[in-house]
Every structure is written in structure tokens, then in C-alpha cells.
Structure 1
Amino acid sequence: MDECSATKSTSLETLVIQNISNVKELKSKLSEIIKKGKDYEFDVSSCVKTLIKSNDQEIVFLTVEAISELVKCDEKRRTYSQKEIISPILDILQKEITTENAALIKQCFRALGNLCCDCDSSRKIILECGGVPNIINLMKKYFSAHSQLSMYAFKTLLNFAIGGQEFTNAMVDGGVVEMLQMVVIQELEKEEIDEEAVCALLSLLSLINENDTEILYSDEINAGVLKVLTNTADIDVSELCLDILHAQAEHDSVKTLIAKHGGIQVVCSRIEQLMQKFDHGELDADQSDVEAILKQACDLIVIVLTGDEAMHILYNKGLGEVYISMVKWLEHTNYHLITTGVLAIGNFARQDDYCAQMMDDKIYDKLLDLFDVYVSFGVQMQKEHSVLHPIEPGTITKIQHAILSALRNLTVPVANKRIIAAQGRAAPTLLGALLSVEDHHVAYKLLAAIRMLVDGQESVARLLGRHKSALRCVARWGHAGEYAGAAGEAPRLLAWAVKLLTRGPYWHNIVEVDGCISSLVNMLVASHSLMQNEAILALTLLAIETLKNISPSSEHPEFDYEKSFISQLIKSEIGKHVSILVDTNCAKMPVEVAENLLAFLDITSKKNKLALDYKEAKVTESLKKFAESRQDLSEDLKNCITGVIAAISDNGKD
């Protein structure tokens, strides 16, 4: 049938319906439309607008049911998405629910739900007509008496909410959250919850949170969702509960609530049950579904542990069920559980006294054992290249990253540093790993873990100073500007090591290995004054050692450290970096940083080549501006600035 014929046929069908005077025949015609539903070929929307306002309630009922069936078709949905159709349906929903009209109310919800399915125009008409509060108020009033009817209302609201933030915001303003809280409480009071109703309300809560990530539900709702998770055996319901709790756990108060209510113990137990059932073939679920819920549950454990109060509750002096489970998971075969266990330990290790206890419990050793395993996996994977490795590269990287974070945290307390350094295993392991790590996220954590271990431990700093291959790796990451984390951590490691290495010949390799000096020079223009100061101090200490005009090292008599140091400083554009440092921090540079910088310039400006580089980079002009712009400088410091300017001018000769 061509378009013209179809239009004529539609017009004829409309005319036929409009001219039916016999009520029985009209009901029969509506029943025919309902039966054909989305396959009914004619557009009779103009007739529907009239029939829905009929005084005959059966005609109204059949008309609304016909709309419900017709708009299951995408094309017809757009046709019937009209205010003249939707508004009368909403008017019906403002009436009291009685035995006589309950079936009609049900059809109204069905019609609205189908009209809203992937159709923003219908949703906007409902908004315009103020329909959302009507639906919500009806549910508040009649849910307990008409729970089956309310399921249709839930589905209507779900189809409405899927439209996005504009629609979920209207629902929140209309009181949907309060209504859902009431429903959650009522359902949990029953001996057996209605999982279909609970699944619908959980879906609504999840959608609302998805569109408004800042929304914080009441304790009653979150505790209710947790209770549903505890009681349900349904995977879909469990997944919805975890989704809501994960989103809500962005708020510290919810992390604490989950911890206090035993939520993480429940999640740990459910994870272990889920895996046991899946391994024994007792679950009617695909592996991908099990993986998804497993990941979601593990993510919830980790995010709750990032809350300080929650972490203390779950550690419980090292006796907490969750803490014990996490330690046990370090030896699990499932990668999700291993990663979760390691991340959990890293979070518990934010507390110094917990770190000391975990060190006594040999947790550091367990993590180091695990790191050895996954470093070897990484090396094996790199060698095999195209050969399919049994573990995904992303999994290897994620576990390495997590282990290094935990190791770094456990190394923060001074007492732990001493123990780890004295044991003598960690430093060689971590320095050796530098040679094989390729992922910049892992490199960042590895460099940070080594730096924390170097802190105050001369024996560890000496190991680094002697390890040329490791120093080359540090220098390489120090110049990986596209990876800010690793590029920022590498020179800090060098700077911390230099503080401990200048008591002996152990600094030699830092001057010899290409890239180490330039990494420190680059750190002069870091965004944080702490890092700037670390770079200045390290360069000053190296300058003191290398510019003493002493004879070459007995170990390397052929190597001229002074010449190399000066050459590397110039190659790294030391003058340009100093000018940028002073110019960009003129007003905010701490006085102690300025004092250290002037000490470095005082030593190095005595060397002609360096003084010439400073002069060409206009360091003297930058220092003059600095002195003139600061009122908080002492006379001694001003005199020092004057002296450095004079030294640069006197020594910087072609």
C-alpha cells in the first residue's frame, strides 16, 4: 500500500469509528484494536482523544487499554504522544482508588509506562501536566493496599526516569525518595519480601543516583538496601543493592553506616558463597554476570575502607572479621579477591600503629612475596609477546600497582623503615623491579615505595647509589614528562638519596649516569615549593662534592666529576630553570627556599661556564626583581643576593 492509499484508509477507518453510534459495536471495535495492538495499521489518535473523555467508563477503560497496546510500536508511540491523550490519563490518576476503578488505574499506568518508553516527548508532556507528583502521591497513599497495582506505577516511573537527569530531578522534587523509603520499610517488615517490587524500587534508586551523583539517601534507605542485600539470594537484586551502596558510599557517613551495620562482613561472606557455588556449578548464571557482581562487591569493600571511621571499625585492633578476611585473600587464587585484599591492607596501613602491628604479623613479607610473583608474571608476559599469557596484562598491572601502594604505606612509620632496611630483602627486590616495569602507573608507585624506604636509611640509599641500571631507570622516568606521576616521583627519589649519599663516594653514579642531574634540574620548576626545595638541596650537596677541585675518584680515575657535573647542568639549561623558578615564584617563594637557592648559586657561580650560563639566562635580572619585590627579606639575605649577582657578573666571561 502506498503512502496516499494508507492515508485514505486511515481517514476512512477514523470516519468509521466516529460514526459508530451503537455502544456495543464501539466496544467491539476497541476490543479489536486491543487484540491487534501494535500491529493495528491505522492511526486513530483523533478518535482516541474523544473516546477517552467518554461518560461510559467501560469505553474509557477500553480506550486506555487500546492506547497501552498501540504504543508498544515505536512509530505509533510518537503519534499518540499528545497532550490531549496523556492529560486525561493523568486526570484519572487523581481519583481515589476503589474496587470499581482499580483495573482502569492499572491500564492508565500501563499506557503511561509504554508512552514513556524511549520517548522524551511523552515524558515532557507528563512534566508539563504535573503528572509526576500525582503518581507518587497515589503510590504513597495506596501502596500497602494495592501493592500489585503499584508495580505498574513503579514501571511507569522507571520508564520515565530512564530519560535522564531532567526527569529524575522532577521525581525527586515530587517526593519519590520519601515514597521509596516508605516502600522499603514496608517491604522489610514482611515475612517474605516481594522481590519484583524491591527490584523495581532499587532500579529507581539506582537511576536517580546515576543522574545525581551527589544525592545522599537517608540512613533508613541505605540501611534498608543493605538489609535487602543480606536477605536476598537473587543475583539481579544483589547487583542493584551493590550498585546503590557503591554510589552512596562516596559519602563518608554511608561508609560508616555500612561498616557499623556489618555490611562488609555480609559482602565478604556473599563473595565467598558466590564463588563456591559457581565453582561447583550451582549457579544459574553466566561467568560474565558472576564476574560483574564480584567486581562490584570488591569495589564496595575498597571504597568503604577509604573512610577513616569505617576503616577503624573494620580493623578492630587487628581482630576484625573483615581485616582477617583481607589477609586471607592475599593467598587466594581469584585475582579480584587478591587485588581487594591488597587494596584493603593498603587502606588499613594509613594508621601508623596498625602498620606496626601488620609488620609484626609479617604482612609486609606476604606482600613482598606476592610482588615477586607478579613481577615474574610481568617479565614472562613481556618475553612471550604474542603468546597468550594465562593472566591478563591489565590484571598483572593492577595487582602490582595495589601491592606497591600497600608496601609504600607500610613503610611510612620510621620503626618499619628500620626493620625493612635491616632485613635487607625489600630494597634489592624493588630496585630490581625497576628494570622490568613498563607501565607508568606501576612505575610511579614503585618509585614512591623506594623513596619511602630510602628515607633516613643510608644502607638503602647506598644500594641505589651503587645500582647504575636502577639509576638509569629512575632517570628515564624522570624525563617521561607525559606521565606526571612517575616523572615527578623519580627526581624526588634522587633528591632524597643524595641527602644520604654525600657522606661517602656513593653519589658518584648519580653524576655519571646520564639524566640524573637533568631530572633534578627539571624539578626546580615543579609546582610545589617542597619539591623545588628538595631539588635545590640535592643540587647544592652535589655541587659541594663535585666542585671541590679534588683529584678524580680512585675507582674511576678517568672520570672528571666536576667537568661532568658542570656540563650536565649547562646541558639541562640550569640558568633558564633558575630564572623561571625565581620569576614565577617571586611573591610566594618561601624564604628558606630562597636561602637554599642562593647557597647553590653562590657555589656554582664561581665557575666561569656556569656563571656565563646564568648571565645569558638573565638570572641576575630575576634576582634583582625578587629582592625589590619582597619586603620580608633580611639584610643578610639581601646582601647574599647582591653577592651572587656580583659573582655572576665577575665570573661570567666569554
Structure 2
Amino acid sequence: MEGATAKKSISLETLVIQNITNMKELKAKLNDIIKTGKDYDYDVSSCIKSLVNSSDPEIVLLSVQAIAELSKCEEKRESYAHKETIVPILNLLKKDITSERLELVKQSCRALGNLCFDCDNGRQTIIDCNGVPILVALLQKTIENSMEGSEDIKLLVSKILLNFTIGGKEMCELVLENGVVELIHRILVSELSKDDMSDSLVTTVVMLLSVINDNLHEHQFSDDINSAVLSILKESTNIEITELCLDHLHMQAEHDAVKTLIAEQGGVELVCSRLEVLVGRRAVGDLTTEDAEVEAIMKQACDLIIIVLTGDEAMDRLYASGRGPVYRTAVKWLSSTDSRLLAAAVLAVGNFARKDQYCIQMMEEGIADKLLDIFSTHHNYSVNQESCAAELGTAVRIQHAAASAIRNLAVPEQNKRAAALHGRAAPLLISALPSIRPQHVAYKVLAAVRLLVAGQDSVARLVASDPAALSAISGWGAAEYAGAAGEAPRLLAACVKQLRAGRQLGSFVQVEGCIACIVNMLVASHSLMQNEAILALTLLAIESLKPKTPTTPDFDYETSFISQLVKSEIGKHVSVLMGTNCAKMPVEVAENLLAFLDITSKKGDVASDYKEAKVDESLKKFLDTRNDLSDNLKTVIADVMSTIANYGAE
């Protein structure tokens, strides 16, 4: 061949091996293949498949070893991932482990492990040949057999099962059905009893658990296995094992029972302690591990702490009436200069603040002030456009966590009063609203302010007197983000309800967008929100449309209110509300709505909008559908229908 050196053809190389009659030469050839390994140039799979069934034990050993080496190559692996190869190897693994067969078993395990590494054909062939029970039986033998070399085989079989389960859900289910997890538990317990556990074996079996977790998301392992993994985490300082244990426990902590188990067995205290050690060592430059690995572990550790705290029983145990070591650690970390510990602390406090009793205790302890300091610092940092993306991301995360925790603390009535008397929380959060950009942060801040408004006139007046804040709130009401868009009109409605009357309500009319924001809530999916919108619009209508007096300000509230109602398509919103809620609208909600329609339908532009949107027809349908309406309410409905229908008539 011009320009290249011709290689022997595949068939010729096969013939060469097939024609070797001298056993010594054949063994030499197999040794040569083994030595060359995955770089061997020729496909001699047909020969090897034949030789693996040889009656000569040494030829069988060399053939299996050759398969193990050749299968390291992805291309060659496919040539051997068939029954002709895998069945003889499985048959070899069925037999007892003896000192004479030790090397053969090891090489058979290596070959099988390589044949199902990233190879669906190999895995499927193992399934088709009923290989999983054979592998499980072999693993059990290695656990029960203390002879020299059994530890090596135990590791190799575990690696086969790992490569096998990586294939997906079916493989993981087969492994579970055949009792592998019980054997893993025995392995972990055995390793824990040793002075020097095998990092390779522990890494492999815990990784096997993680693969099952990944593929069978709903599977909950037994308390025994989860406790064993937690014990491994306590005993091992190996970075890879630590990461795997944290990963396993985090995935298992999706189940409340596992959250409780981790809390009961000191898992969260352990993780907190490990975090502090890592932060301390890093601060003094005493870590040789790559930064990315340390970051990954610290993130996993923080995530595990938080997910355990989302369990009610686990959270109660760890709070321990405010004396729990984990809670006290979280409070301590609120003053940390390390962003990871600080973020974990704020999230932890937010989770502890799910019970009113705990919220009240935390408010008395001054936790709210710490959170406000944290929110203020990181809000100011997040609006600094000169910061790098990573720093901004961290600042936003902590800002969001702080806002969320403050929101939780504001739930109990006692805390609302305390916050209003203290006078710091509401002004800080309200003043931050115009400069908040991330929607998830806005959502939590809007929710926190709304809770602070409830029952507190002073907070409602603060919102009403801040045009920039009102503009920001109405802007979030028009945003596409469900969380902030849902909270914004509720906050405006809560302020209007709290103020009820007085010219301060005019602030909501003067700031463009507030009326439309509340009108949009008429078609919210929850009747509570619909009623909040109706009540707020009614109060605003009463205030804006009342007769002018000599002391009335120059601003024309009536014209502005009517104009904004029409621009927000009030008629369409009312028609949709009536059309979708005829049968289920509570009478008290209907009464509020009729009061609003009675007031506003007397204004020409609004009546025109109602007529165009066929609000009178919607009212007729509502009247015909219901038999629980009072005579007085029926009269009001008839009057409003008549006003709308007759609008514009000569």
C-alpha cells in the first residue's frame, strides 16, 4: 500500500493463533496480548472466546486476563460483550474460592467489570445470563471468607456491580431485588470495626448507593444502611468518602424519617463541626485539597444541614427550646465572615422560624436585628455593579435567605407588634424595594412587608408615603414571575385595608400602576385574593369618588381613579370573575363586589366599560344561578344591571 505500511489482516492474525499447536507458544502469544493490552492491533475475539473454554487451566486464566486487558478499549470491548465470553466467565465465578483459583477469580472479576463499563451490551448480557445472582453470591462468599485475597475479590465484585448499576433504573432494581444493599451494610459495618478501613472498598460501595439513589429517586434505604453511612462519615476524613456520604445522606434526606434519623444520631452537629474545621483550615492555608473539591464538600454539607431542618420533627429536636447545639451554632454563624457559613446560618434560622413559639423566642433574642443587618449589608452589596458575578450571586443568595427568614419571623402577631414598635424592619425593607432586581428576593421582601402591615397602621402609612416603593410594588405586580406578581397586589390591598379611609389612600391613586395591580388580582385563582382585591378597590372607590370639599387637594383623585380603572379593563376583569365564580362565590364576597359596582357604575366612563364587557349579563347569570341571595342584595344587583344597561340610552 503506497504511503503506508500494510498491517496483517484480522483474519490472518486469527489464523496464526488458531494454528499454534505448541502450548508454550500459545501461552507466550496470550502473554504478548496481555502485555500489549488495549493497544493490541487486531481483533482476535473469536480465538479468545474459544480459548476461554479450554481444558487447560492456565490457558483459561490467560484468556480471561487477555479479555480483561483488551476490554479496556471501548472499541474492543464491544467485540467481547457477548454470551460466548460472559457465560464462561460467570461459570468460573460460580465455583468456590480456593487458594488455587484465587487468581482466576480475580481476573474473571476484572474482565467482567471492564465488559460492563460504559457498555450496555455487556450489562444486558449479564442480565440475560442471570448474572446478578451469581455476582451477589460471590460477594457474600467474600464477606464470609477470611482467606487471603478475598478482600481483593470483594472490591472487584463491588466494582462490577457499580459499573453494572450505572446502566440505569433496571440494573439498580435488579441489584436491590438480589439483596446487594444488605451486603453493603455488612461491608460497611465490617470496615467500621477495623483500625484502618479500606478507602477503596468504602468508596466503591457508597458510590454504588449513590447510583441507586440517582436512578431510584423514591427509594428509601433502611435505617441500618443510612446509619452505617453516617458512621462512615463520622470516622473517615477522606475527601472522596466524605463527599459520597454527604451526597447519599442528602438524597436520602428527601424522606422525613431520614431527616429525623440524621438529627437523632448527631449527623447535623457532625457536619457543622466539619464545616468549621474546613473554614478554619482554609483560612490559615492548611488545605492541600483542590479548591473545587473543598467547595463541593462545603456546599454539600450546608445543603444537608438545611434539608434536615425542613423536617418538622428533626427541626424540633435540633432547636431544643432554643438550647440545641445546632441552633446555637446557627446563631453563632450569623456573625461569621465566611459567606458559606453565613448563608447556611440564615437558611437554618429561617427553617427554625417555622413555628410561632420559636419565632417569638428568636425575636426576643434579637435574631431579627441580626437578620436585618445581614439583609442590609448584602442588599447594598448586591446593588454595587462593580462586584464580580460570583460575589453578586453570593450576596443575592444571602439577601434572599435573610428576607425569607425575616418574613417567617413576622408571622406571629406578637412579633408584628414588636417590629412596629421597634420601627426598624419596615423602613429598611420598604426602602430597599425600588432597588431590588432578583424576583425571588422581591417576593420574600414583599411578603415580609405585607405581614408587617397586618394590624399595624404605622407600617401601612410608611408604604403609602413612599412613591418609589409603591411604584416598585406595582411594577412587580405586572412582572411575569408568579411569586412576586402574586405578592405585590396583596401588599397594596393589605395597606389599603389597614388605612381604610383618609387622603393617604390617595397615594395609591397618584402612583401609576397601583390600581391596575389590584384590578389584576380580581382574576386570581384563590377566592381570598379575589376578595382582598374587591375590598381594596371598594375602599379606594369610596375615598376617590366622594364629593369635593373646600379642603380637597388640587389633585383630581376621581378623574385619575376612573381613568386607571378603565385603562386596567375593569369590566373584563369583573366579567371573568363573575363568569368563573357564579356558583361558588361566597355571599360576603358578592356583597363587597356589588358595593364596588354600585359606586363605580354611576360614573359614565366606567359604566361604558362595564357595558362593553357585558358585566350586566354576567350579573344576570349570577342572579339566576344563586338561590341564597338576600332580597336587599337582589335589589342592588337589579339596580346595577339597570344602570349599566341604560348607559348611553337616549
TM-score, structure 2 normalization: 0.96
Deviation of 1:391 after TM superposition, in Å, equals 6.2
What are the equivalent positions in structure 2 for 1:547-558 lying under 5 Å apart? 547-551=545-549, 554=552, 557-558=553-554
Read off the aligned partner of 2:617 and give its amino acid letter.
Answer: E
Determine the C-alpha separation between the residues in 1 that align with 2:516 and 2:62.
Answer: 82
- Find 2:314's aligned residue among 306, 310, 315: 310
> Identity of paired residues, percent?
57
Look up the match of 1:599.
595
Look up the match of 1:45.
45
Deviation of 1:192 after TM superposition, in Å, equals 3.2
Cα pair distance change 1:389/1:29, threshold 3 Å:
closer
What are the equivalent positions in structure 2 for 1:461-480 lying under 5 Å apart? 461-480=460-479
RMSD: 2.0
The answer to which of 314-323 and 14-23 deviates more is 14-23
- Find 1:566's aligned residue among 562, 587, 596: 562
Look up the match of 2:373.
369
Deviation of 1:176 after TM superposition, in Å, equals 2.1
What are the equivalent positions in structure 2 for 1:94-173 lying under 5 Å apart? 94-145=94-145, 146-173=150-177
Read off the aligned partner of 1:539 and give its amino acid letter.
Answer: L
Look up the match of 1:259.
263
Q: Provide the secondary structure at the position in 2 that maps to 1:435.
A: helix
Determine the C-alpha separation between the residues in 2 that align with 1:372 and 1:288.
Answer: 30
Read off the aligned partner of 2:482 and give its amino acid letter.
Answer: A
Look up the match of 2:214.
210
Look up the match of 1:282.
286
Determine the C-alpha separation between the residues in 2 that align with 1:24 and 1:565.
Answer: 103
Determine the C-alpha separation between the residues in 1 that align with 2:144 and 2:454.
Answer: 64
Determine the C-alpha separation between the residues in 2 that align with 1:43 and 1:288.
Answer: 42
Determine the C-alpha separation between the residues in 1 that align with 2:140 and 2:574.
Answer: 69
Determine the C-alpha separation between the residues in 1 that align with 2:125 and 2:315.
Answer: 48
- Find 1:614's aligned residue among 597, 610, 616: 610
Determine the C-alpha separation between the residues in 1 that align with 2:177 and 2:468.
Answer: 63
Determine the C-alpha separation between the residues in 1 that align with 2:122 and 2:3.
Answer: 26
Determine the C-alpha separation between the residues in 1 that align with 2:512 and 2:537.
Answer: 15
Is contact 2:538–2:596 with CA below 8 Å preserved after alignment?
yes
1:540 aligns with 2:544: no
Read off the aligned partner of 1:332 and give its amino acid letter.
Answer: S
Q: Provide the secondary structure at the position in 1 that maps to 2:435.
A: coil
Determine the C-alpha separation between the residues in 2 that align with 1:79 and 1:179.
Answer: 32
Deviation of 1:370 after TM superposition, in Å, equals 1.3
Cα pair distance change 1:652/1:160, threshold 3 Å:
farther
Cα pair distance change 1:638/1:103, threshold 3 Å:
farther
Read off the aligned partner of 2:288 and give its amino acid letter.
Answer: D
Determine the C-alpha separation between the residues in 1 that align with 2:329 and 2:345.
Answer: 8
The answer to which of 333-342 and 171-180 deviates more is 171-180
Look up the match of 1:239.
243
Read off the aligned partner of 1:609 and give its amino acid letter.
Answer: D
Deviation of 1:446 after TM superposition, in Å, equals 0.9
Structure 2: gaps spanning 5 or more residues: none
Deviation of 1:39 after TM superposition, in Å, equals 1.9
Determine the C-alpha separation between the residues in 2 that align with 1:634 and 1:108.
Answer: 87
Is contact 2:575–2:618 with CA below 8 Å preserved after alignment?
yes
Read off the aligned partner of 1:496 and give its amino acid letter.
Answer: A
Structure 1: gaps spanning 5 or more residues: none
Q: Provide the secondary structure at the position in 1 that maps to 2:209.
A: helix
Read off the aligned partner of 1:51 and give its amino acid letter.
Answer: L
Determine the C-alpha separation between the residues in 1 that align with 2:435 and 2:115.
Answer: 59
Determine the C-alpha separation between the residues in 1 that align with 2:531 and 2:141.
Answer: 67
Look up the match of 1:222.
226
Determine the C-alpha separation between the residues in 1 that align with 2:324 and 2:550.
Answer: 59
Look up the match of 2:516.
518
Determine the C-alpha separation between the residues in 1 that align with 2:72 and 2:382.
Answer: 53
1:428 aligns with 2:427: yes
Look up the match of 1:347.
351
1:292 aligns with 2:292: no
Cα pair distance change 1:323/1:495, threshold 3 Å:
same
Determine the C-alpha separation between the residues in 2 that align with 1:366 and 1:214.
Answer: 38
Is contact 2:381–2:392 with CA below 8 Å preserved after alignment?
no
Residue by residue over 1:383-439, the C-alpha shift from the partner in whole angstroms, topping out at 9 and shown as x without a partner, is x3xxx4496111111111000000010011101110110111111111110121111
Deviation of 1:17 after TM superposition, in Å, equals 1.6
The answer to which of 72-81 and 633-642 deviates more is 633-642
Deviation of 1:633 after TM superposition, in Å, equals 4.3
What are the equivalent positions in structure 2 for 1:634-649 lying under 5 Å apart? 634-649=630-645
Determine the C-alpha separation between the residues in 2 that align with 1:94 and 1:642.
Answer: 89
Deviation of 1:459 after TM superposition, in Å, equals 0.5
Read off the aligned partner of 1:604 and give its amino acid letter.
Answer: T
Is contact 1:339–1:402 with CA below 8 Å preserved after alignment?
yes
Residue by residue over 1:206-255, the C-alpha shift from the partner in whole angstroms, topping out at 9 and shown as x without a partner, is 11101111110100111111111111111111000000000000000000
Read off the aligned partner of 1:595 and give its amino acid letter.
Answer: E
Is contact 2:350–2:408 with CA below 8 Å preserved after alignment?
yes
- Find 2:276's aligned residue among 272, 276, 293: 272
Deviation of 1:368 after TM superposition, in Å, equals 0.8
Cα pair distance change 1:134/1:391, threshold 3 Å:
closer
Q: Provide the secondary structure at the position in 2 that maps to 1:72.
A: coil
Determine the C-alpha separation between the residues in 2 that align with 1:567 and 1:40.
Answer: 84
